[in-house]
Structures are given as structure tokens and as C-alpha cells.
DNA sequence: TTAAATAAATGCAAAAAATGCAATTAATCG
DNA sequence: CGATTAATTGCATTTTTTGCATTTATTTAA
């Protein structure tokens, strides 16, 4: 038997004209229909249906109740369908958090694309946020590159960001080209974000202490500095690929295999992932298999 | 436990802000709330609430669902009330809120009377309640004396409570009898409810600053103090009529016309007032035209 | 950082309700 | 007036709901 409310059952009985027909239609026992209608009548303290042997028809109040209830139940049903549809179709508002530069370069395009295809969708991009508490800030997905903090949130590994050692030809001309990983310690580096001037990093299994005078938490700024010959940088391929192609920058130790950074999508619930979030992650995934993210 | 649909329960959880609060409000086990919300979420295949320890709040779909569902359920509820109201008999449960003393003196009798005549009816009297939210507390009618707060509720003016200035003969003997309204400022007063010792009040067009040491939010207590000679009081006639009749108290400035307090019945719906509520208001109306409420 | 406090979820057994079958009642039609 | 058919009711069974105790998770306080 199908689960159905007493109110809906009443609608069916009125529409079909008798308890029995309604029962048949809904594959229920007539006795059950009787009992449930009685129960509804008792609750409302009103007689809704005038029974007879041949057929049952609504009383005056029953008719009034029927007309208005039908309308309301239909609206409620429509509402439920709308809600259910959000699982299958990207609608509502999607709020994404991402690292500043990565977001600027890639996420903004993805979101633009989504809105084009799903006019019901509105988007919001939070760049550079620390997203301490996704739920509290209303963030649907956070994109994070690098190691993950402990958290109860759901992390899905989307792909990885290959890295590269780059410097400007001018810098190489002045300082000479490093011949080995160890030699990197004698060079000037441009750093992303870390507040110390000296960074301990492991390259090709060797733990190095790199030094340099420039630190910033912006990939664009780094790029500028590197282009201006301020030092070597170990950064994501996507940020330097064009400069490498035009020769504005050149690779350092190209034969050395560098570890990629993992890229994760972080979101709240595992069970009910809204369509907008699933779609976003799919698109992000596609982006990561695109040109920009191949190793050089 | 009260029978309530999962949808209505969801509304309650959103309104109260957490599963626990909703559970308390509805006198159900929190685990039950949890299970039923989960059941609703499962049926809609959507996560409606973002849970946390302190409080739970709706997700985006949850919010959308809440807004629209609330509207529909209210309409459905109104429909049911309309249907129920077609019955002319006072039945069901009548919950009345009233000021403490007034309720004790008059409302309790009215309710007793109603139950006697309508055995189908059960009654509940909430005394001294601030009745912030009639609907939420399940109050059918609230009786209020004095000025009304702004509200979307229906207020019907039932009548008025005439007032009188009273004092004990002992007090008059000690302090002398005031000869003019202005002289009242030299006297000690006993106050109802106000937290300040000095009350600005307008009597016969003159704005006065009355003072006194006694303040309480109980008419019975006031009565006691006035009888004990603690001061003059400006209060409802009904509370002092017997004492005036026996001479235990006497009027002060009897020739001065005092403004009456209006008495209102406050209830929710204008269109379909249930028989029990109509009856109550009628009876209250009769009471107000009775002896106790004539001017002295 | 850890521990305490508190909300929410879950396992399980008891309680309550819904359900189906069979029998009964009621009403129309021949 | 009896036959027919719909609606109702009694009763046993199944299913669901519910509450308690416990566990899990998360926030606040120390």
C-alpha cells in the first residue's frame, strides 16, 4: 500500500465518488479507507462525506473542504517536487572559497560557465579566505591546494597541481645556473606566503634551506618578481607556463622531478550533496585535466 | 505527545533554532525529533538542516522549503479552523490567558460555567502570562486590561474597567484627606507593577508625580497594603468595591472623574472564530456589564 | 591543548498504531 | 421483500512509532 495522508485520501474518495473505488484505485482495503476518513472527520469534528450504498458524496462542508484542500495539497506537492529537483538541477546560490590566485585564474571561469548553463543559479566566490567554518560562513565548497587540516568535513581529492622551478634568463645570466639540487641553497628565492625568509623544503629527497628576500601571498606578485630577476621560484606550472613558452622565464633543473601539490574540494555533507556542488566539482575536475595542469 | 506531522515539526525546529528546543517546546524526545527530521530529509532526498552543537539552521534548500511550507501549512491550518468553526458547539480545548488577579476573580468562573454547559469542552487558564506569541503558546484568547501593544492580532474591545482612588480610614486619619487633585502629590501611594517609586500619571487633566514606597504586581497584595494604611491607590473598582461597601476602605476625591481602563480580548483569526472563543467572549462581555464593573 | 558540557544520532526493546480479513450492518434496486 | 453491494466494525497481526540509554560529535571553558 502506498503511504498517503488522510487528507489526500479524502480527496481521492471525493474524486472517485466512493470509498470502494478509491480503495481499488489505491490498492487499499475498503475498511482502511473507511477508518481513515472517519478519523479525519473525528479530528475536524465535522461530517465530510454523506455515505450511501451506491456512492458517497461530500456534505456541504466536505465540498468546501475538498475544493480548498485540493488546491493546497497540490501546491504542497509542487513545492516538494521543486525541493526534490534541487538534487538534480543546479539551482540556488553557490558560494565557493578558493585560494586567491587559483580562484582568480580558474574558479571564476567555472562559475561563469555554470551560471550561463543554469540561469537559476547565482554564484559567489570568496578568494583567499581561511574558511575556518564552512557552514557558518555559508560556503558550499572550498578549494584547497596543499596539505589539509584535520577536520570533520568531507574532502575529495580532485587532482594535483604540478610544480616547476623557474627563473628569468637575466637572473640566470647574473647568478649562473644551478647544476644540482644542492646548489639551489646558494641561490636567491622568491617565496609564497611564508613569513620566514628561510624556507625548509624537500626537493628530490633532499632537504634544503632556501633563502631569499621576497615573500608575498600573491602568485601574481611572485610572477612579477621572478620576471624581474629577483630570484628562483618553486611554483605551480599554470602560473608560469605562458612565460616559459615565450621565453620570458626559463626552467631551472628541468630534469628534477618535483612533487605536485594535491588539490581538494572540501564540503560539508556526504549524504546530500546538492547538484550545484556536484556540478562544480565535476567542472573543476575537468579543468584540472586541461592544458594548464599538465607537467611541463 | 502531541500528534504533529514531520513537516510541522521541521517548521518548529527552524523557528526554535535547534532540535532540543523544539523537542522541549513540543514535549517530545529529542531523539524523536532527530529521527523525524531525518525521515523528512530522506523522503525529499535533500538536507534541510545544518546541525551543530549549539543550534541547527536551515540549509539553502531548507530555508526555501521553510518559507514556502510555512505559508502553506498556515493556510491549511486556517482551512481546518474554518471547517471546525462550522460546528456551533463549543468543543475541544480552550486556553485563555489573563492578568493574574482579574483572571482569578472573573475568568475562572466563566470557564467553570462553560465546562458545565459544554462537557465536550476542556479549559486552561494561563494567569499573568505576557503572552508574547498567542499562536506559539496555543492560547485561544488573551484578556488584556489597559493599553495594547502593536500586534497583528485581532483585538476586540469588550468593555472597560472603571477605577477609583481608595485609602483606608486609618491612613486618612493620619495623613489627612486630600482636598484637590494636586494635593495627591503630597501623599503616599501604593503602586501596581511599575518599578519606579515615582509615577507620572494624569488625573482629571492634571499631570501628577505620585510617590510611595510600595510596588507589587498583584492586586491582592495591593489591597492588603491599602487596607493596612500604607497609602492611597488608584485601582480597578472591582477589587475594592466590597471593602468600600463595608467601610474598610474609603474613596479619595470621590467627585473627581477617573478614566477607565479599556478591556480587550485578543485572538488570532478574524474570519472564523471557533464557537468556544465566541462563547467565551460573550460571557466575558456579560460579566463586564455585571455589578462589579459599574462605576462607584 | 585538553577536558567538560551539551546537542544530535543510534541501538534496542516496549508501546502504539495501522492494517487486513472476516463478519456485520445498512441501504438501494429489482 | 429479498438480493446485492457498500460501508463499518471486531479482532488478531504486522508494522511503525516512541522512549530510554548509550554513543558520537562539537563547542566552550579551563
Digit-coded pLDDT (tens) for B148-206: 765 666 788 888 889 999 999 999 999 999 999 999 999 999 988 765 556 678 888 88
Architecture of the structural domain at B163-251: 3-Layer(aba) Sandwich (3.40)
Which of residues 15 to 54 on A have a Cβ less than 7 angstroms from any strand C atom?
Answer: 28-29, 31-32, 35-36, 39, 52-54
Contact predicate A215/A191, CB 8 Å:
yes
Q: In what order do the strands lie in the sheet with A154-161?
A: A121-127, A92-98, A141-145, A261-267, A154-161
Residue B152 confidence (pLDDT): 60
Name which of A158-167, A266-275, B149-158 the model is least confident about.
B149-158
Q: Is A271 part of the contact surface with chain B (CB cutoff 8 Å)?
A: yes
User: In angstroms, how far is D30 C1' from B54 CA?
Assistant: 19
Residue B203 confidence (pLDDT): 87
Stretch B7-18: mean pLDDT, rounded? 91
Scan for cell 493546497, then name that residue. A72
Residue B55 confidence (pLDDT): 82
Gap from A279 CA to chain B (nearest CA, Å): 16
- Is the pLDDT at A156 greater than 80, yes or no? yes
Interface-testing mutation among B43, B86, B88, B271, with chain A (most A C-beta atoms within 10 A): B86
Q: How far apart are alpha carbons A114 and A92 in whole angstroms? A: 12
Residue A195 confidence (pLDDT): 54
Q: How confident is the model at residue A194 (pLDDT cuts 50, 70, 90)?
A: low
Residue A24 confidence (pLDDT): 87
How many beta-carbon contacts under 8 Å exist across A and B? 60
Gap from A151 CA to chain B (nearest CA, Å): 14
Q: Do domains B6-87 and B89-160+261-294 have the same CATH topology?
A: no
Chain B, nearest residue to A271 by Cα: B47
- Is the pLDDT at B84 greater than 70, yes or no? yes
Q: Length of chain B, please?
A: 296
Residue B248 confidence (pLDDT): 94
When the candidates are 1.10.10.10, 3.40.720.10, 3.20.20.70, 3.20.20.80, the CATH number that belongs to B6-87 is 1.10.10.10
Every domain of chain A and the residues it spans: 6-87, 89-160+261-294, 163-251
Which residues of A, range 28-47, sit inside 8 Å of B by Cβ? Answer: 44-46
Which range, A261-275, B52-66, B148-162, B173-187, is most confident? B173-187
Residue B199 confidence (pLDDT): 67
User: Mean pLDDT across chain B, nearest whole number?
Assistant: 86
Residue B76 confidence (pLDDT): 93
User: Mean pLDDT across chain A, nearest whole number?
Assistant: 87
- Is the pLDDT at B220 greater than 70, yes or no? yes
Q: How confident is the model at residue A196 (pLDDT cuts 50, 70, 90)?
A: low
% pLDDT > 90, chain A: 40
Q: How confident is the model at residue B33 (pLDDT cuts 50, 70, 90)?
A: very high
Sign of CA dihedral B93, B98, B104, B107: negative
Q: How confident is the model at residue B136 (pLDDT cuts 50, 70, 90)?
A: low
Neighbours of A178 (CB within 10 A): 19
Q: How confident is the model at residue A251 (pLDDT cuts 50, 70, 90)?
A: very high
| Helical pair A108-117 and A275-288, crossing angle rounded to 10 deg | 130
User: In angstroms, how far is C7 C1' from A121 CA?
Assistant: 33
Q: Is A74 part of the contact surface with chain B (CB cutoff 8 Å)?
A: no
- Is the pLDDT at A55 greater than 90, yes or no? no
**CB-proximal positions of chain C, under 7 Å:** 5-11, 18-23, 26-29
Residue A216 confidence (pLDDT): 87
Q: Length of chain A, please?
A: 296
- Is B54 within 7 A of strand D by CB distance? yes
Q: For domain B89-160+261-294, give the CATH number.
A: 3.40.190.10
Q: How far apart are alpha carbons A118 and B262 in whole angstroms? A: 59
Choose among B45, B47, B84: nearest Cβ to A45: B84
Neighbours of B143 (CB within 10 A): 22
- Is the pLDDT at A230 greater than 80, yes or no? yes
Stretch B104-115: mean pLDDT, rounded? 91
- Is the pLDDT at A169 greater than 70, yes or no? yes
Q: How far apart are alpha carbons A230 and A216 in whole angstroms? A: 13
Give the closest nucleotide to A29 (alpha carbon vs C1'). Answer: C20
Digit-coded pLDDT (tens) for B237-256: 999 999 999 999 999 999 99
Amino acid at each position: 500500500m502506498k503511504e498517503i495522508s488522510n487528507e489526500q485520501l479524502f480527496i481521492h474518495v471525493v474524486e472517485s465518488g466512493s470509498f470502494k473505488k478509491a480503495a481499488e484505485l489505491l490498492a487499499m482495503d475498503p475498511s482502511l479507507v473507511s477508518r481513515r476518513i472517519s478519523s479525519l472527520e473525528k479530528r475536524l469534528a465535522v461530517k465530510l462525506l454523506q455515505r450511501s450504498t451506491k456512492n458517497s458524496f461530500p456534505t456541504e462542508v466536505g465540498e468546501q473542504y475538498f475544493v480548498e484542500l485540493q488546491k493546497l495539497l497540490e501546491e504542497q506537492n509542487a513545492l516538494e517536487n521543486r525541493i526534490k529537483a534541487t538534487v538534480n538541477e543546479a539551482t540556488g546560490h553557490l558560494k565557493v572559497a578558493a585560494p586567491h590566485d587559483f580562484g582568480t585564474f580558474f574558479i571564476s571561469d567555472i562559475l561563469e560557465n555554470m551560471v550561463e548553463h543554469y540561469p537559476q543559479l547565482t554564484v559567489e566566490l570568496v578568494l583567499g579566505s581561511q574558511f575556518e567554518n564552512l557552514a557558518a560562513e555559508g560556503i558550499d565548497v572550498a578549494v584547497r591546494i596543499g596539505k589539509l587540516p584535520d577536520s570533520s568535513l568531507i574532502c575529495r581529492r580532485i587532482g594535483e597541481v604540478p610544480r616547476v622551478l623557474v627563473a628569468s634568463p637575466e637572473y640566470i645570466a647574473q647568478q649562473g645556473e644551478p647544476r644540482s639540487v644542492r646548489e639551489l641553497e646558494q641561490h636567491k628565492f622568491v617565496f609564497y606566503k611564508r613569513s620566514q625568509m628561510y624556507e625548509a623544503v624537500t626537493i628530490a629527497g633532499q632537504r634544503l634551506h632556501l633563502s631569499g628576500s621576497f615573500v608575498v601571498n600573491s602568485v601574481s606578485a611572485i610572477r612579477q618578481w621572478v620576471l624581474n630577476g629577483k630570484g628562483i621560484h618553486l611554483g605551480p606550472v599554470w602560473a608560469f607556463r605562458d612565460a616559459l613558452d615565450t621565453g620570458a622565464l626559463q626552467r631551472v633543473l628541468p630534469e628534477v622531478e618535483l612533487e605536485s601539490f594535491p588539490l581538494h574540494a572540501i564540503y560539508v555533507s556526504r549524504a546530500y550533496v546538492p547538484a550545484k556542488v556536484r556540478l562544480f566539482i565535476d567542472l573543476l575536475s575537468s579543468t584540472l585535466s586541461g592544458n594548464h595542469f599538465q607537467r611541463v
